[in-house]
Amino acid sequence: MPSAPPPGIVPHHVAIVMDGNGRWARQRLLPRLAGHSQGVESLRRCVRACVARGVRALTVFAFSSENWGRPAEEVSGLMGLLAKALAREVPELSRDGVCVRFVGDREGLSESVRNGLAQAERATQGNSRLVLSVCFNYGGRWDIAQAAAALAARGEPITESALCGALALAHVPDPDLVIRTGGEKRLSNFLLWQAAYSELFFSDLLWPDFDEAALDAALDWYAGRERRFGRTSEQVRAGLEPEPLRA
């Protein structure tokens, strides 16, 4: 079993595409919603493990803007599962020092769901041990478009730094490590701007099977990466800082 990376090499921000819930259920001849329910359990384990290992920000892809195209029964079930998870998990998350933020377009959500998201954010807003950002009704292209529209509406120049500040995930730094489970090797419209310099780790495990050991494997792999940000290996070893991004 791989060991967790030593202090100082643990990524500040981990982002995860939680893929494979439906396939996990199908392999067990269960309804797809059973896979999503088990996926919530995996997320609970992952949050606790990230807190224990010193990760300061965790962002997960829970429901994409494209997922509305799934069968109506599954979408309805997912909304109900979200409501139950909020009621059950938020008090415990708050006790563990987790600040919950929901990232995405809330206009397409029902009033009860929007109220539930806002209530969870208020209940945990004072916590600082881990920032858990749940991307719900989110798409990377939507995020860039809404940031540009906000800047244009305010009459502000659209520069890289201005866009960074207007993105829906501006409350945390860009992810150091992006993990995708389920064997697929693509971002699927997740954090398209923010993942520009992220390390990408792909796991064949379906999300409900992704446990603490699997997380440690990803963190161990990350610890062995050389993060250059456009520099040469020699510059990295010499401790030279990367040049600032030019707008």
Name the residues annotated as catalytic: 19, 67
Look up residue 102 and give its amino acid.
F
177-180 and 13-17 strand pairing: parallel
Please say whether the dihedral angle defined by the alpha carbons of residues 27, 32, 37 and 41, taken in this order, is positive or negative.
Answer: positive
User: Strands (DSSP E) along 70-163, which ranges?
Assistant: 98-103, 130-138
Three-state secondary-structure class, residue 64? strand
C-beta of residue 163 within 8 angstroms of C-beta of residue 148: yes
Residue 130: phi, psi to the nearest 5?
Answer: -150, 135
What type of residue is 64? S
Where does residue 27 rank: exposed (0-12), middle (13-18), buried (19+ CB within 10 A)?
exposed
Instruction: Find out whether 130 and 54 touch, Cβ atoms under 8 Å.
Output: no
